[in-house]
A = this chain, B = another copy of it.
Amino acid sequence: MTARHSVYLDHSASTPTDPQVVEAMLPYFTDVYGNASASHQAGRKAERAIEQARETVARILNCQPSEIIFTSGGSESDNLAIKGAAWAARQQGRDHHLMTTPIEHEAVGRTIEQLASVMDFERTIVPVDGYGQVDVTEFERACQPNTCIASVMYASNEVGTVQPIHNITQVARDHNILLHTDAVQAGGQLPLDVQALGVDMLSLSAHKFYGPKGVGALYVRDGIELMPHQTGGSHENARRAGTSNTPLIVGLATALEMAYDNIDHYVTHYRAMRDLLIESVLERVPQAQLTGHPHDRLPSHASFIIEGIESTTLLMHLDMNGVAASSGSACKTGNPEPSDVLLAMGYDRQQALSGLRLTVGRYTTEADIEYAVSALARTVQKLSRLQTV
C-alpha cells in the first residue's frame, strides 16, 4: 500500500541536505581532491577549504578555529570528548569519576557505560524531573572532588527539553569539572555561543541542520587535553586521525552558516508549525499527553505519550498513511524495550512504550500538519477500538 500523501515529520532523525550545500560540496569530490595533509598545491587547496570551514564554524560558536575538531558525526564527537578527556585525566593520574544524566543520547550514555563497566571509571547519573530537566541542586550534590567530566545534553532528542546549560556549567566550573554538552539536536535551532553557554566541549552533527550525514564537529576549549580516540595520523592537530573529509567539512560549514544566518526566520517557522502540531494533537487525540517541557523545548520538536497505544504499532499505521514519525530516537528503533528516557522522567512501563515524536522542518506546511494530525487521530481511534473489542 502506498499512501497518497507523504509528510515527513522526523527531522530530528535526519534532514535532507540542502541543494546549496550539495552544490558547495561538489567541487571537492572531483576537482579539489588532494589529501589536505599533502604538501603540494592539490593538498593545500583542500587544506584551505577546510581551514575556511573551520573559521566559519568558529565564528558561529564564538571560539577560536583551533578549538574546532572535525569528526565523522555527532557520535564520534561525543566519543572523542568523553573518552578523550577521561583517558587524558587518567593518564595524568587525575580524577576518574564521570557524571551524566539518564536522558542522554546513547552516544553519550553508552560511552560512559563502557568507561564504567569495562575501563574502571566511576559514574553518577544525576536524576531529571518529570519534564526531563536536570535539577541544578541535584547536579551540584553529585559533584565529587574526583569528578573529571560531566556530560549533559543541550536539548533532548526524545522529548525536546532544553537543559539549563548555563546554570549547570557554572556549577561544573565551581567544582573544576569539565562540562561537555551534546548539542546535536540544538544545532540550527538554539544559540551555540560557547562563551555564553560556558561549556568546555560541545558536539554537533551536520545532518541535523540540512548538512550531510557523516560529518560532525567538536568544540574543545583551548587548554583541555584529549587523548585521541581514533588513533593514527596527526590530523586535526593530532587529536583525530583519518584523512580530512574536505567535501563534507565544507558541507557542514555551509549548512551551519545557512542555518545561523537565517536563524530567526527558521525558528519562527519551526515554532509556528510545532505549536500548531501540539495544539491540534492535544485537541483531537484525547489519549495524547505532551512529554518534555511545555516551554523550554526545541522549536521543531513535539513529543507525546499516546496512552494505551504502543509506538511500534502506531508508527506502522502512520507510515502506511504516509506520515514519517518516530517513537523518540531513530538510533533506538527496532528496540521493543520501553524508553529509558520516559522511565527516568517518571512514566510507567506501559507509557514508556507509547512515545511518539513529531519533528517539523523548513518545508513543513500547515497542510502537512493537518494531514498528519488527521491520520494520527483516525489511527488512534481505530487502534483504541480494536484493543477494547
Contacts and interface: CB of A to CB of B under 8 A. Distances in A.
A231 B73 contact: no
A205 interface: yes
A354 interface: no
Interface string A1-38: 00000101010011111010110001001110111011
Nearest to A73: B242
A216 to B, nearest CB: 9
Q: Across chains A and B, which 6 residue pairs bring their CB atoms closest together, nearest first? A: A233-B331, A107-B232, A72-B72, A214-B245, A75-B242, A13-B35
A208 to B, nearest CB: 9
Interface string A205-233: 10100001111000000000001111111
A75 B37 CA distance: 14
Contacts of A55: none
Interface stretch (A161-169, A273-281, A319-327): A319-327
B324 A40 contact: yes
Given A17-B29, A41-B319, 15 more contacts: A10-B38, A10-B43, A13-B34, A13-B43, A14-B33, A15-B33, A22-B26, A37-B334, A38-B326, A39-B333, A74-B243, A105-B232, A106-B231, A107-B241, A241-B331
A91 B119 CA distance: 10
A30 B10 contact: no
A317 to B, nearest CB: 11
Interface residues of A, number: 84
A27 to B, nearest CB: 11
Interface of A: 6, 8, 10, 13-17, 19, 21-22, 26, 29-31, 33-35, 37-43, 72-76, 78-79, 87, 91, 105-111, 113-114, 118, 205, 207, 212-215, 227-235, 241-248, 312, 315-316, 318-319, 322-326, 329-335
A107 B243 CA distance: 11
A102 to B, nearest CB: 16
Given A243-B207, A245-B213, A324-B43, A231 B110 contact: yes
A72 B332 contact: no
A108 B241 CA distance: 11
A214 B30 contact: no
Nearest to A232: B107
Contact of A234 (B19, B228, B331): B331
Contacts of A243: 14, 73-75, 205, 207, 213-214, 330-331
Contact of A38 (B22, B227, B333): B333
Contacts of A312: 39
Contacts of A33: 14-17
Nearest to A318: B40
Nearest to A242: B75
Contact of A75 (B40, B233, B332, B334): B233
25 contacts: A10-B40, A10-B43, A13-B34, A13-B35, A13-B37, A17-B29, A17-B30, A21-B29, A38-B324, A38-B333, A39-B326, A40-B315, A40-B319, A72-B73, A74-B243, A75-B243, A79-B230, A106-B232, A107-B232, A107-B242, A110-B241, A213-B247, A233-B331, A233-B332, A243-B330
Contacts of A73: 72, 242-243, 245
Nearest to A243: B213
A320 B333 CA distance: 54
